[in-house]
Structure 1
């Protein structure tokens, strides 16, 4: 029999941790002296200690290790545990590689342009949503209010219920920037179902992965924000995959002060 100190040295597990394993029922002493309270371990428990240390090195938590030890002699069960953990570690490695790429491109961009982080670009998924939509060719971008007036007028009697995550957005369908006759679609997210009107169409929009940057202030910043998102897409091995759109978190509908506008510039993207 081995005293806890000797077992600690041989197993290379601290006394504190051995006591913790005892409390969890992972690795309990063979016997405890009733008079002194000393813990004694058997030599044949050293392989168990080694298994625990090995599984910890693989990234298993102690609760999972307890389950694995119950099935350690079953190769199939053990293989299943290891396969699941392998998939988790691979996913973590992919996420780590993605973060490293983001850091690398941000550092390179900053070295070229100290203002590059003025607009922070993030990658996320816009979930599926049910929207009220109006799409028309309007004289110019600053005439977008025409579309919102159409929506409000034609849906006034419908008593639309805003969705819990309600926001409004505008999609710019033209392939490039145009001076006039621009193809714009506005959308408001609603809940419930409604009949289409003359110009308002109700439809379900699919989830979409986007690169986006949110900024506060007037729409005069849009060009600079577009450049920031475009640079991010190029630097991070993505490509554009749909029409650009803006989400209006705070718009002229809420404030007349352009400095208080909050706009999110979004580009659908996918990996190259």
Structure 2
């Protein structure tokens, strides 16, 4: 048998915790010295201790843990419950990291207010033919858009290659508000005749007579600040937006994200 201190060390828990489990009836000592009151445990009780800790980590209260233990949950079922909890925790961590990235992006936007300047070029943009796939994002938040557009581009690349085609220019993305959120269009420039059936859409984006364009450098999770600076420039220079902006990925997806280059094209007009 093991003293309560040794059993706590072997079970990687505290003595205080073992005393608490004893008081609740979750894990009684194998023997209690009637004269000293010292608690002693057997090695076989480590199995029950492991189950108590595992069930606690699943988010169960100690009262619920006691009920589950009375039902004698087997190792396989317990393992399945732990796998499910692990998946839930991983999803929670991923969501928290995405929120942290969004907070950092907002902080950068606030820090650059009235400080950063951008070089905006107003120019005409020629029409372009795209092979594209689209999907729905919950909102315009960078992490929501990214979660949709990345798999769209991966799948579009596979389908274009399967069709024996090669992109003729950089990727072009654009976004449309819809009732469900945002429709994300992921396109690659291609040279093909209309009317031929493919497992992707073929879209002709019209020419833009006047577009306020700016170069964004870096990953797209920081593009919000560039969009806001562009919006300020448009307003201060007497323009107004007239359509859906396009993102042209001039250098994107390879190497250090700090070196990625995207051109934002915002259709504008200057009222008379």
TM-score, normalized by length of structure 2? 0.50
Q: For 2:166 and 2:160, locate their aligned partners in 1 and report how far apart those are by CA, in whole Å.
A: 11
Cα RMSD, aligned residues only? 2.5
Q: How many residues align?
A: 152
Number of the residue aligned with 2:229? 228
Number of the residue aligned with 1:219? 220
Alignment match of 1:142 (pick from 146, 158, 171): 146
Alignment match of 1:154 (pick from 155, 159, 174): 159
Question: What SS is found at the alignment partner of 1:174?
Answer: strand
Q: Is the 8 A contact 2:216 2:223 kept in 1?
A: no
Q: Give the drift of 1:181.
A: 4.4
* Paired residues for 1:10-25 under 5 Å: none
* Offset from partner CA, 1:50-82 (integer Å, 9 cap, x none): xxxxxxxxxxxxxxxxxxxxxxxxxxxxxxxxx
Q: Is the 8 A contact 1:123 1:212 kept in 2?
A: yes
Q: Give the drift of 1:262.
A: 0.8
Q: Is the 8 A contact 1:196 1:202 kept in 2?
A: no
Q: Does 1:271 align with 2:262?
A: no
Q: Which runs of 5+ in 2 are unaligned?
A: 1-112, 139-143
Alignment match of 1:167 (pick from 167, 170, 186): 170
* Paired residues for 1:65-104 under 5 Å: none
Number of the residue aligned with 2:257? 258
Number of the residue aligned with 2:192? 192
Alpha carbons of structure 1 residues 193 and 183: separation in structure 2 relative to 1, 3 Å: same
Alpha carbons of structure 1 residues 131 and 159: separation in structure 2 relative to 1, 3 Å: same
Q: Which runs of 5+ in 1 are unaligned?
A: 1-112
Q: Is the 8 A contact 1:121 1:228 kept in 2?
A: no
Q: For 1:162 and 1:192, locate their aligned partners in 2 and report how far apart those are by CA, in whole Å.
A: 10
Q: For 2:197 and 2:262, locate their aligned partners in 1 and report how far apart those are by CA, in whole Å.
A: 28
Number of the residue aligned with 1:245? 246
Alpha carbons of structure 1 residues 224 and 234: separation in structure 2 relative to 1, 3 Å: same
Question: What SS is found at the alignment partner of 2:266?
Answer: strand
Q: Give the drift of 1:129.
A: 1.5
Alpha carbons of structure 1 residues 201 and 237: separation in structure 2 relative to 1, 3 Å: same
Number of the residue aligned with 2:125? 126
TM-score, normalized by length of structure 1? 0.50
